[in-house]
Amino acid sequence: MPIFPSGSTKIAVTLGDAAGVGPEVALKAIHAERQRLGARILLIGPASFYRDLSKKLGLQMRFEMLADLAEWKTGTPFFPCYFFEPMPKRIVRGKPDRRLAALAVESIRLAAGLALEKSVDAVVTPPINKASLRKVGFSIPGHTEFLAELSQVKNYDMMLVGGRLRVALVTRHLALKEVSKYLTRDRVEKTILLTDRELRRSFGIRRPRIVVCGLNPHAGEEGRFGSEEIKVIAPAVRSARKKTDAELIGPLSPDALFHDAYLGKYDAEICMYHDQGLIPLKMISRGHGVNITLGLPFVRTSPDHGTGYDIAGAFVADAGSMTEALHLAVRISRNRKAYDRSHPRS
């Protein structure tokens, strides 16, 4: 008889874009890691959909719908599913679909609700397609912003973890020409302090070493290539130093600091824009990076890749990043519980 995921940590795995590789990598990872994960998995989607997909993947998995979460008990000989919306009878993989985009949103909404009421400890989110979401009126840039809105959280950030890097982003999905206008002392400082808190609480690091990237080549070279380092970033670092005992370094030139980061000199890197941090991280992590949303009242992780429409339906997607996202969700959940027990007022 198959061994089903068990443990004290409860994880909700959302549906993702059913036209992409998200559900595929979710099932592959859960099936492969079910004995090692140490968590109970709740799939936020229809059992019939997962049942059909598992057959296509050649996985021996049994799924059952739960009418009520009270039915979710340890030791059940199936993978529990929880969802209230019907799936289309025919799914064309590799192409955006408005109906599937709407179902992806509903799955996220349901999972976040379960996390906010503490029915689950963590939410793991397979990828969604932002273009499809815009067609159904979903104007928020992605998972990060939507989960923050559902949680009514104002101070939140995106962190990517891969290899020895933990990259936190001051700005996320912005055109490069907009980045400088968005950077403020307050925004940079908040990212530093939120990263500091999460390194302690989620990763168990007592006194974090955090390096801050400059925006311009050579970190501006004392104003020669731009003034953001002098007027915005350095003052934010000085202000943050007054509020934490973490070791804060920078702003430094990104073209030099990532080698030291790769060698493990820092616990996290604060990056001013998306590609500044994600290019080195994705190169180092080799398809096993994980996206974390900092600042939420629950744990959220995600693989660092997209919907993979070009290979959806071929069922050849690598589940490495999803596997890491599941394991990291368990580790962070346990670390936060331990931290909160020892820091009840923080």
* pLDDT for position 62: 95
* pLDDT for position 43: 98
Question: Residues 18, 326, 66, 17: what is their CA dihedral angle, to the nearest 10 degrees?
Answer: -10
Contacts of 271 (CB under 8 A, 6+ apart): 167, 168, 169, 170, 213, 254, 277
* pLDDT for position 58: 97
* pLDDT for position 1: 37
Which residues, given as ranges, of the chain have pLDDT below 50? 1-2
The architecture in CATH of the region 156-290 reads 3-Layer(aba) Sandwich (3.40)
* pLDDT for position 252: 97
CA atoms within 13 A on the CB side of 276: 29
**Cα(22)–Cα(303) distance, integer angstroms:** 9
* pLDDT for position 4: 58
* pLDDT for position 319: 97
* pLDDT for position 345: 67
Report pTM.
Answer: 0.93
Q: Which two tokens stand for residue 245?
A: 């005992």
Q: Do the Cβ atoms of 276 and 180 come closer than 8 Å? A: no
**Cα(252)–Cα(262) distance, integer angstroms:** 15
Q: Which two tokens stand for residue 164?
A: 């020895």
Tokens 């744990």, residue located: 299
Query: Residue 35's closest CA among 1, 71, 81?
Result: 1
- Listing DSSP states for 51-82 in one string gives HHHHHHHT----EEE-SSGGG--TT-SSEEE-
* pLDDT for position 74: 77
* pLDDT for position 142: 82
**Fold topology of 1-153+296-346:** Isopropylmalate Dehydrogenase (3.40.718)
Contacts of 313 (CB under 8 A, 6+ apart): 93, 94
**Which part of the chain has CATH 3.40.718.10?**
1-153+296-346, 156-290
